[in-house]
Amino acid sequence: MTGSFRKTMMAAMLLLLTLPLPQAQAAAPRYERSVHNFSIPDIVLVNQDRKRVRLKSIIDTEKMVIVDFIYGTCTTICPVLSAGYANLQRKLGKDSEKVHLISITIDPENDTPEVMKEYLERYRSKPGWDFLTGSRQDINRVMNAFDSYFRDKMDHKPLTFIHSPEDGTWIRLYGLLSGKDFIKECEKVGVL
């Protein structure tokens, strides 16, 4: 009961806070932006093709890496985040090769490689977008590393993290970005 109440409260807040801004205030973003240094755990996850992926090695590359936390049967936030990924790939065109999109499941119980593959197909993903699963504890470690631990998948938040290959910092974006804002944030990193 208390859990539901908490969820209701938070939902209500978000509902109020994400009301659109009229033209006069359009400059104020609908999301929170901050810069962090995160220490990524040295763990191995599994992608949609059942390939084992050492997380550190796919993050520490010359590409810009973007990470979000979603799950296959999620109702509200994840479809918007994933539509944002798909839109980014489309808008970047050939430049999308410079960006590695990573979605990490927060429902490893249900998200098998088959479920994840079907999910990516639904969003017409292109190469360069990986959906990763793994042991629940390893995924908890990743969430903790990004200071984004959700005790339950139903409590998750709209978070996107952009890794700059230049200085290794992470930009944390909290909220649901428009397509324009998302590209603008990527451009700030300087790889595009």
Partner 1 sequence: MACSAAKTLSKNVKKWGFYNVSMSFSKSRIALVFFFATALCLSGRLVSSAWAGTDLPPEKIQELGQKMYRDGVLPSGESIKAFVSDDVPVDGTAFTCVSCHLHSGMGSIEGEVITPPTNGRILYEPREPFIKGYEHVPSFSNYAKYLPVRPAYTDQTLAELIQGGVDPTGRSVLHVMPRYDIYGKDMDILIAYLKTLSDHPSPGVSKEQIKFATVIVEGTDPQAVKSMLDPIQFGIDRKNALAIAAGNNDRVARMGYNMLGPDLMAKKFTLSHWILKGAPETWRAQLEDYYQNEPVFALLGGISAGDWAPVHHFCEDKHLPNLFPVVDYPVLSDTDWYTLYLSRGIRQEGEAAARYLMSIQSLLKDGAILQVYRDSRRGQALADGFRQIWNAAGNTAAIEVTLPPGEKLTKTQLQQLLNKHKPVAVIVWDDETALPALTEVATEKSHPNFFVTSATWLDQSIYSVPEPLRGFLYMTYPYRLPQEEARFKNLLNKVLQGKSIAQYDEKIFKKGYITNQMIGDALMEMRSEYYSDFLLDTIGMMEDTYLPLYERLTFGPGQRYASKGCFIVQLSEGDAPKLERRSEWIIK
Partner 2 sequence: MDRFFMTALILLFILTLPACAQTVQDSAGVQEAAKAKPEVEYVYVSKGYRYDPVDATEDADAGLFLCGTRCNALSVDYLNITTPGGWRMLRVAKDHEVSIDLKKMGIKGNCICIADQYVVKVNDLYMSK
Q: Which of residues 116-155 bind partner 1 (CB under 8 A)?
A: 122-124, 133-137, 152-155
Determine, following the binding rule CB under 8 A, whether residue 158 of this chain makes contact with partner 1.
yes
Tracing tokens 């990924």 back to the chain, one arrives at 85
For partner 2, the binding residue among 44, 58, 154, 183 (CB under 8 A) is 44
> Using CB under 8 A, which residues numbered 76 to 95 contact partner 1?
76-80, 82-84, 86-87
**What crossing angle do the helices spanning 77-92 and 179-189 adopt, rounded to 10°?**
60
Select 157 or 190, whichever has its Cβ closest to partner 1. 157
Is 67 a binding residue for partner 1 by CB under 8 A? The answer is no
Please give the structure tokens belonging to residue 10: 């938070």
The least distance separating partner 2 from the CB of residue 94, rounded to whole angstroms, comes to: 31
Q: Are 71 and 109 in contact (CB under 8 A)?
A: no
- Is there binding between residue 130 and partner 2 (CB under 8 A)? no
Tell which one of 11, 36, 41, 73 touches partner 2 (CB under 8 A): 41
The whole-angstrom separation of Cα 107 and Cα 17 is: 27
Q: Is-contact 20 175, C-beta < 8 A?
A: no
| Region near partner 2 per CB under 8 A, out of 98-106, 118-126, 137-145, 174-182 | 137-145
Q: How far is CA 49 from CA 9, 115, 191, in A?
A: 39, 11, 27
Which 52-91 positions form the footprint of partner 2 (CB under 8 A)? 52, 54
Q: Which residue has the tokens 């324009």?
A: 180
Asked if 34 and 98 touch (Cβ cutoff 8 Å), the reply is no
Structure tokens at 81: 């985040």
Q: Does 34 bind partner 1 (CB under 8 A)?
A: no
Q: Rank residues 6 and 36 by Cβ distance to partner 1 and give the closer one.
A: 6
- The reply on whether position 135 binds partner 2 by CB under 8 A is yes
141, 145, 63: which is closest to 102 by C-alpha?
63
**Binding region for partner 2 (CB under 8 A):** 41-44, 52, 54, 135-138, 141
